[in-house]
Structure 1
Amino acid sequence: MRICIAGAGAIGCTLAARIAASGQPVNILARGATLQQLQHHGIRLNDLDGDHTVSVHASESAEALGPQDLILVCTKAPALGAVFAQIQPMLHPDTVVIPVVNGLPWWYFRGIESRFANDPIKAIDPDGELNRLVPQQHLIGCVVFITATRTAPGIVNAANPHLMIIGEITHQLTDRLERIRQLIEHAGIEARSTDNIRDQIWTKVIANLTSNPLSVISGATLEQLYSDPQLQPLVRRVLDETLLAAASHGARVRFDPQSIMEMGTGMGAIKTSMLQDFEAGAPLELATIGHAVVEVAEKTGIDMPTTRHILALAEFLSQQQRNA
């Protein structure tokens, strides 16, 4: 299988290193200092299985890499349009594209029967560009639970177990889904396939939305967000609003509210990825993690006032930072 990782950040390098270490050649679409590091020194990953130093074929040119059978797009949500445009030379009729991105996906209402069938999510894809660039037949959805930190270009630490859940956006269990699941599992990553990827997406959305935007405002760690008496009531209100939004679209979330709060506390003194992005001056994934959820909730008449206020404050701080 011809595999490309588009995006060589912490998650992209973790997936690339594990897949390459399993004996499967991996191409990486990268640029700048990261490209130079990958071309000359490969990837160095330290995870629960030890140290892995692997060679990969890295290029900044999709044309040079050529057609690919599987493309894992490991980028932040604001960059999806640019990356999807870049990967066009790598697509052939049977290419599978798996966006490894936080939040609700732009394709949420595509591929299944629904009263909102084929509706866009304007917070993410206002003019339908993402859908035009990567039509739904190429797509497999995923939810990734990998806690990884890039300490330098091509050098990543990942101290927790790796889990990747994948599913067709049509909710079918297909041969291609199973082949990809086996490939991921062979790479030493726990891999599960599901016949309802949207339920899994909502579970991750709940974790992200209850923690990420408020962490930007407060500077708090996950443990503080879910346990501090000043912050916990806000987190619980966002949690209740998001659970109601998920249920209004038929999603089944496995965990009860108290369990979600306890799991968040148990993550310890870890900064959210959005807080790390904010501190680095990078764009924030507020559209997919937050505004898209509010938009989808509105479709079923669900209001999310606390969530709206927190998103507005996070947007204000991000804009102030960009204007500084």
Structure 2
Amino acid sequence: MTQPNPLRVCIAGAGAIGCTLAARLVASGQPVSLLARGKTLAALRSDGIRLNDLDGEHHVAVTASDSCQQLGEQDVLFICTKAPALAGLLPELAPLIGADTVVVPVVNGVPWWYFHGTSGRFAGRRVEAVDPQGALSDSLDLRHVLGCVVFITAQTPAPGVVQSSNPHLMIFGEPNGQMSERLERVRALVASAGIEARATERIRDPLWTKIIANLTSNPLSVVTGATLAQLYSQPGLQAVVRKVLEETLLTAAAYGARIDFDPQTFMELGAGMGEVRTSMLQDHEQGRPLELAAIGDAVVELAGYQGLHMPTTLDILSLARFRGALAS
């Protein structure tokens, strides 16, 4: 990338993560455009973003639009939507993407680009649970994609209003493992906004860490209504979480992932997150589609490719899907 500063930065999706990232970037002096719709778009235009995090209050004005044509070509495009929205959104983003645009999907679960840039027997394979018939791969040339794993816990009590009580961390990496110029450019951009930002040659390692955190908490939270502290510390729930954890750790190991924690430490860290309601539980309570395909089904699919079984995980996913259908 050779574009001079300031970069043209757009965030597609103005939920908790998108607004947190936008608010921090704008507060640092980086102009940001937001792609949003409906009540959220109206709120952003009239009141901007109000973020309350560990660094205090941030109230920023942003450029918001529901038209990709109006926003135009960008240097960096962060996609901060829920996984179920990707199939409908990606084709619409074409006007934002030029020859050198870096596209950073900030999405939960197994990403559709998971096997992109890999070698061996899985090279070029699709993850059908998140990319059925290759719809996402066909909508975006994967050479634009920069991998990202986000560890930001935030809630949106109202459109454009975000509350976060935990540190922010984003990890970036090329799908092929190279340390590129564009990787450092995006990392530095996010770091300049006061968000801890790391670059790695092994983006799938932190990706599996996040997958494990999501899969052990999100679906079960829908079934039980429990917070993170309850899921990881209440004896009855803790026993179920441990079974899902063991199944997911085995799958991660089959793909060569290096996980930096032991199971007991992971459980303690989860309990230490406090009385936080998972994003999937929040979606369930508001009648929104659940990210079960990306967070759960795709992991079961990956396990199957290695001849592994995840019986407890499958049971929890079935129960969560039933609960989600009742709320929709």
Q: State whether TM-score is above 0.5.
A: yes
TM-score normalised over the length of structure 2:
0.96
Look up the SS of the partner of 1:315 in the other structure: helix
Q: Give the number of equivalent residue pairs.
A: 322
Determine if the alignment matches structure 1 residue 90 to structure 2 residue 132.
no
Instruction: Report 1:1-324 matches (<5 A).
Output: 1-322=7-328
Shift of 1:40: 2.3
CA drift at 1:302: 0.6
Residues 111 and 136, structure 1, Cα contact 8 Å, conserved in 2: no
Conservation of the 8 A alpha-carbon contact between 2:230 and 2:271: yes
> SS state of the match for residue 10, structure 2?
strand
Aligned with 1:94: secondary structure?
strand
Instruction: State the Cα distance separating 1:74 from its structure 2 match.
Output: 0.6
Could you tell me which amino acid in structure 1 is paired with residue 30 of structure 2? Q
Residues in 2 aligned to 1:21 and 1:114: alpha-carbon distance in whole angstroms: 44
Q: CA deviation at 1:320?
A: 2.3
Any gaps of 5 or more consecutive residues in structure 2? 1-6
For structure 1, the residue ranges without an aligned partner over 5 or more in a row are none
8 Å contact 2:285–2:327 — kept in the other structure?
no
How far apart, CA to CA, are the structure 2 residues paired with 1:287 and 1:271? Answer: 20
SS of corresponding position for 2:289: coil
Deviation at 1:214, TM superposition (A): 0.8
Q: Distance in 2 between matches of 1:67 and 1:101?
A: 21
CA distance in 1, matches of 2:72, 2:191: 26
Give me the whole-angstrom Cα distance separating, in 2, the residues matched to 1:45 and 1:231. 32
- Which amino acid letter does the alignment assign opposite residue 77 of structure 1? A
User: 2:42 and 2:224 mapped to 1: Cα distance?
Assistant: 37
Distance 1:49 1:222 in 2: 23
**Larger deviation: 148-157 or 61-70?**
148-157
CA contact (8 A) 2:212 2:245 kept: yes
* Contact 2:15/2:81 (8 A) holds in 1: yes
Task: Name the Cα RMSD after superposition.
Answer: 0.9
Give the drift of 1:114. Answer: 2.4
Aligned partners of 1:94, 1:114: CA distance in 2, in Å? 28
Query: 1:315, 1:215 → 2: CA distance?
Result: 12
Displacement of 1:153 after TM fit? 1.3
Q: Which aligned segments of 4 or more residues in structure 1 are displaced greater than 6 angstroms?
A: none
User: In the aligned structure 1, how far is the partner of 2:277 from the partner of 2:191?
Assistant: 28
Q: Which amino acid aligns with 1:2?
A: R
